Amino acid sequence: MPTISTNDFKNGMTVELSDGLFQIQSFQHVKPGKGGAFVRSTLRNVRSGAVVDRTFRAGEKVESAFIEKRDKQYLYRDGEGFAVMDNETFEQITVSAEAMSEAANFITEGSSVTFLMYGDEIIGTDLPASVELTIVETEPGVQGDRVSGARKPATLETGLVIQVPLFVEQDSRVKVDTRSGEYQTRA
């Protein structure tokens, strides 16, 4: 594995430490008046999601992890997880619900998903900023009920329930933000 200096840290970079694989959330170079400089960082464990604060000496070497992005097509959901097919080799594998995490709320059968791979291990997904989904169930808006900014619950085709404006009806296509899970606009 290639090593990098703590002076070369960047947000989003993935490093391999003795206690796991971590993604750098934020970092700060600190040079106190006395003593040597150091790097204060916030790291997220990519396997467990735990966030830890760690301090490194300036110039300390850590191992960089090579994260590969692979496109796969989501086929269907089975009892154990999600069946996906590699777009290059056409090999089908079952991905656990833990590996899919929040991405399961935003993907439909036949859609393409970018997986973050560390060797042969799936450590996460890379979704677009927003997706278009169909509303399968929501209450109709009541005539005269036009309070500014009023919202109602709506169930999407993936099973996710979001809050939408009163004018949005069943079978409408809506754009949903994948980072926050909130309604953006009608599609």
Quick one: pLDDT band at residue 120, thresholds 50, 70, 90? confident
Q: Is pLDDT of 146 > 80?
A: no
All CATH 2.40.50.140 domain ranges of the chain, comma separated, are: 68-126, 130-186
Assess if CATH 3.40.50.720 describes domain 3-64. no
Gap between the Cα atoms of 115 and 143, Å rounded: 45
All CATH 2.30.30.30 domain ranges of the chain, comma separated, are: 3-64
Q: Which helix (H) or strand (E) holds 100?
A: helix 97-100
Instruction: For the chain, give the percent of residues with pLDDT over 90.
Output: 33
What residues are paired with 69 via a beta bridge? 116
Tokens of residue 131, six digits: 């997706």
Quick one: pLDDT band at residue 119, thresholds 50, 70, 90? confident
CA neighbor of 78 nearest in space, from 102, 100, 47, 48: 100
Assess if CATH 3.40.50.360 describes domain 130-186. no
Instruction: For the chain, give the percent of residues with pLDDT over 70.
Output: 95
Tokens of residue 31, six digits: 């040079």
pLDDT at site 29: 92
pLDDT at site 144: 61
pLDDT at site 38: 93
pLDDT at site 15: 93
pLDDT at site 147: 64
Q: How far is CA 4 from CA 9, 12, 61, 91, 107, in A?
A: 8, 14, 5, 34, 36
Span 27-76, pLDDT tens digits: 999 998 888 899 999 999 988 888 999 999 988 999 999 989 999 999 99
pLDDT at site 148: 65
Gap between the Cα atoms of 132 and 106, Å rounded: 9
Dihedral over Cα of 140, 144, 146, 150: its sign: negative
Span 72-112, pLDDT tens digits: 999 998 877 889 998 888 899 888 888 887 888 898 888 88
pLDDT at site 142: 67
User: Which letter, b or e, does each residue of 68-98 get, where b requires 16 or more Cβ atoms within 10 Å of its Cβ?
Assistant: eebebbbeebeeebbbbeeeeeeeeeebeee
Gap between the Cα atoms of 79 and 118, Å rounded: 25
CATH class, domain 68-126, is: mainly beta
**Dihedral of the CA atoms 29, 25, 184, 100 (nearest 10)?**
170
